[in-house]
């Protein structure tokens, strides 16, 4: 567990902020990932092609990512209360619209557009900024704990949604998700945001005039290390989402039951909690490069076992895939988030990280889209899984081929107060 802020006077408040970030990340990913178990019931009822179905998830992830710079701007201009409450409201509206859907465009609107906007608003962009204020000396570890909520959200929400679908059907399940989110939105409005923002650093005099001349985002985009972080996130997302959207359907196709398949995906997400938290700790304790390298090797081995399952259905191979792929799933997130916070610290940090996240979303959306398209074109999963392995290699490359661009010295509070360097 990360140490709270360097100030001993507010340890409880720092941990409360970490818990808050964890909770909203739980919702941001958990609600979106429930689509994995809605895919087959929707396809069976409406008869749509697999590519049409996975493209809904592609739109969700694309919109969530592209909304991230706007989320950073809203956070810096209006604060977390407006951002979190608005984001939860959008998620709730999306689920409620999906519960009444009769046409494909309604699912694109509810799940893809509104769900994506909501997920982008309450995800890691505001969390990274809040944690930078409260955990300056253990930032990677704190971000790792917050990122672990993504896996925990899938662990809880995916099997729960599957059970509700089996019991009451997909419409009632979407309705229940929407109603629950309405309650969370009310809670978001009454949280003690003034106390949560107590450690927000004061903006330097003249910062507004400087920002007009050269925005932090523009300054960051002029640096090679910004694009190296984009490469890491883009190709990681592309590789992972060539696999994830159809993971439940794939396991069912090769002979596992729907509940077994949903449980396997949920277990992989559960294991990611430890892997994501651990990657933050390894980054703080050793280096970002080592944390990333270990995670990429584990992901590649897991994908290899998944590819082997296309030739022979085996519980042992499935177990190996769940262990390796699960532990490493999402582990690059804390590494890149903490690197971004340290390399581009100061005013505009949320917008810079939001831009990296937005460009990552292009890989997420492309991966989800290609996942269904390659299945329809080839009649199977092997080409998609092999392509995912290539993407993982491209994502790992910047940590070893960038001549130290992604290596930072030991973090300190003074480093975190500096603006983007050139």
Q: Domain containing 338: what range?
A: 12-193+215-417
The tally of domains found in the chain comes to 1
Q: Is residue 321 part of a domain?
A: yes
What was the pLDDT predicted at 414? 36
What was the pLDDT predicted at 422? 25
Cα separation, 64 vs 87, in Å, equals 11
What number of H helices and E strands is found in the chain?
23, 0
Q: Is residue 210 part of a domain?
A: no
Q: Is residue 273 part of a domain?
A: yes
The CA angle 336-337-340, to the nearest 5 degrees, is 80
Closest to 90 (Cα-Cα) out of 57, 59, 119, 125: 119
Positive or negative torsion for Cα 249, 250, 256, 259: negative
Q: Is residue 200 part of a domain?
A: no
Cα separation, 99 vs 168, in Å, equals 12
Q: What is the phi/psi pair of residue 2, to 5°?
A: -70, 150
Helix (H, G, I), strand (E, B) or coil at 292: helix
Please indicate, yes or no, whether the overall pTM of this predicted structure exceeds 0.85.
Answer: no
Both tokens assigned to 87: 């984001």
Cα separation, 127 vs 143, in Å, equals 8
We report the CATH number of the domain holding residue 51 as 1.20.1250.20
Cα separation, 153 vs 34, in Å, equals 9
What was the pLDDT predicted at 351? 80
Closest to 245 (Cα-Cα) out of 47, 36, 50: 36
Could you list the mean pLDDT of each consecutive 10-residue stretch along the chain, which spans 422 residues?
A: 48 86 91 84 80 79 83 86 94 93 90 91 87 81 85 82 89 93 93 85 52 66 91 93 84 82 79 80 80 92 90 86 88 85 76 85 83 85 91 93 67 37 28
Cα separation, 131 vs 134, in Å, equals 5
Q: Is residue 317 part of a domain?
A: yes
Q: Is residue 5 part of a domain?
A: no
Q: Is residue 183 part of a domain?
A: yes
**Hunting for tokens 């949920």 — which residue is that?**
266
Q: Is residue 205 part of a domain?
A: no
Task: Give 34-58 as a DSSP string.
Answer: THHHHHHHHHHHH---HHHHHHHHH
């Amino acid at each position: 567990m990360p140490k709270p802020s360097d100030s001993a006077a507010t340890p409880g408040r720092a941990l409360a902020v970490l818990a808050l970030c964890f909770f909203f990340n739980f919702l941001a990913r958990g609600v979106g990932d429930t689509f994995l178990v809605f895919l087959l019931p929707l396809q069976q009822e409406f008869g749509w092609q697999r590519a049409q179905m996975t493209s809904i998830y592609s739109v969700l992830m694309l919109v969530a990512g592209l909304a991230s710079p706007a989320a950073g701007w809203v956070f810096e201009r209006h604060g977390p209360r407006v951002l979190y409450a608005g984001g939860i409201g959008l998620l709730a509206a999306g689920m409620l619209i999906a519960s009444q859907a009769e046409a494909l465009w309604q699912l694109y609107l509810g799940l893809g557009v509104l769900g994506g906007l909501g997920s982008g608003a309450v995800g890691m962009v505001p969390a990274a900024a809040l944690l930078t204020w409260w955990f300056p000396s253990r930032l990677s570890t704190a971000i790792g704990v917050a990122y672990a909520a993504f896996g925990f959200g899938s662990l809880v929400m995916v099997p729960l949604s599957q059970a509700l679908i089996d019991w009451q059907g997909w419409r009632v399940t979407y309705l229940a998700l929407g109603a629950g989110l309405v309650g969370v939105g009310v809670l978001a409005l009454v949280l003690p945001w003034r106390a949560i923002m107590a450690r927000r650093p004061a903006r330097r005099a003249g910062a507004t005039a400087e920002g007009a001349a050269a925005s932090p985002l523009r300054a960051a985009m002029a640096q090679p290390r910004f694009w190296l972080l984009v490469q890491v996130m883009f190709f990681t997302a592309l590789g992972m989402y060539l696999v994830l959207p159809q993971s439940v359907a794939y396991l069912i196709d090769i002979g596992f039951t729907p509940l077994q398949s949903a449980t396997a995906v949920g277990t992989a997400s559960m294991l990611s909690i430890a892997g994501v938290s651990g990657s933050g700790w390894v980054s703080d304790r050793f280096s970002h490069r080592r944390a990333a390298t270990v995670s990429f090797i584990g992901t590649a081995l897991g994908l290899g076992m998944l590819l082997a399952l296309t030739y022979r259905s085996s519980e042992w191979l499935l177990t190996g895939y769940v262990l390796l792929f699960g532990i490493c799933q999402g582990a690059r997130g804390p590494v890149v988030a903490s690197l971004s916070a340290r390399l581009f610290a100061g005013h505009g940090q949320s917008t810079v990280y939001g831009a990296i996240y937005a460009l990552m979303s292009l890989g997420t959306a492309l991966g989800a889209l290609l996942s269904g398209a390659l299945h329809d074109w080839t009649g199977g999963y092997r080409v998609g899984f092999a392509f995912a392995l290539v993407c993982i290699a491209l994502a790992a490359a910047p940590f070893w081929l960038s001549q130290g661009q992604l290596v930072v010295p030991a973090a300190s509070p003074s480093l975190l107060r500096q603006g983007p360097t050139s």
